[in-house]
């Protein structure tokens, strides 16, 4: 066994934003709420999940970097009610892709862009009912 530290679980993701308030509102729709944050030199916010843990850190920047995706491809959150999520994303006019992971997992996966160009994934339990219009293949709504 290595002497290296052993990872136990994911702690948080950090994103940058030119518009912290718009970012707060977007993630508030997904159930994340602002909470305590250390007095860092740069402004921002920490967004907390229902379990009371800050899982998304937002740092305010003057300008977003040109390349919006680097080695971190996306961030995924476990959610509930795939139909409600589908209704929400359609009401916002956000492009998305909804699919099921292959056997044996069968989780529902919804991918869409966040307000800063970050890729967001919502995962739903495999036992959730198929959303209206599901025909066994991905549902894609392009921009």
DSSP state of 137: S
Q: From residue 50, how far is each of 34, 77, 140 by CA, in Å?
A: 11, 12, 29
The string of pLDDT tens digits covering residues 101-116 is 988 999 999 999 999 9
What number of H helices and E strands is found in the chain?
A: 2, 9
Single pTM value for the model: 0.87
Q: How far apart, in whole angstroms, are the C-alpha atoms of residue 1 and residue 108?
A: 36
What is the reported pLDDT for 12?
Answer: 94
The string of pLDDT tens digits covering residues 57-83 is 999 999 988 876 666 778 999 999 999
* Averaged pLDDT for residues 50-58: 94
Question: Is the model's pLDDT at 143 over the cut of 80?
Answer: no
Which CATH number applies to 73-143?
A: 3.10.180.10
Considering only the top CATH level, what class is 7-63? alpha beta
* Averaged pLDDT for residues 46-58: 94
pLDDT tier for residue 1 given thresholds of 50, 70 and 90? low
What is the reported pLDDT for 27?
Answer: 97
Burial class of residue 44, CB neighbours in 10 A (0-12, 13-18, 19+): middle
The domain limits of the chain are 7-63, 73-143
């Amino acid at each position: 066994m290595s002497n290296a530290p052993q990872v136990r679980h994911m702690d948080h993701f950090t994103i940058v934003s030119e518009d912290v308030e718009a970012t707060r509102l977007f993630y508030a729709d997904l159930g994340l709420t602002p909470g305590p944050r250390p007095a860092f030199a740069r402004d921002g916010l920490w967004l907390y999940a229902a379990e009371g843990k800050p899982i998304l850190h937002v740092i305010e920047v003057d300008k977003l970097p040109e390349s919006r995706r680097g080695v971190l491809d996306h961030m995924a959150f476990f959610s509930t009610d795939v139909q409600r999520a589908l209704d929400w994303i359609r009401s916002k006019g956000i492009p998305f892709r909804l699919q099921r992971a292959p056997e044996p997992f069968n989780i529902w996966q919804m991918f869409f862009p966040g307000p800063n160009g970050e890729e967001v994934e919502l995962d739903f339990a495999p036992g959730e009912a198929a959303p209206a219009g599901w025909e066994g293949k991905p549902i894609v709504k392009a921009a």
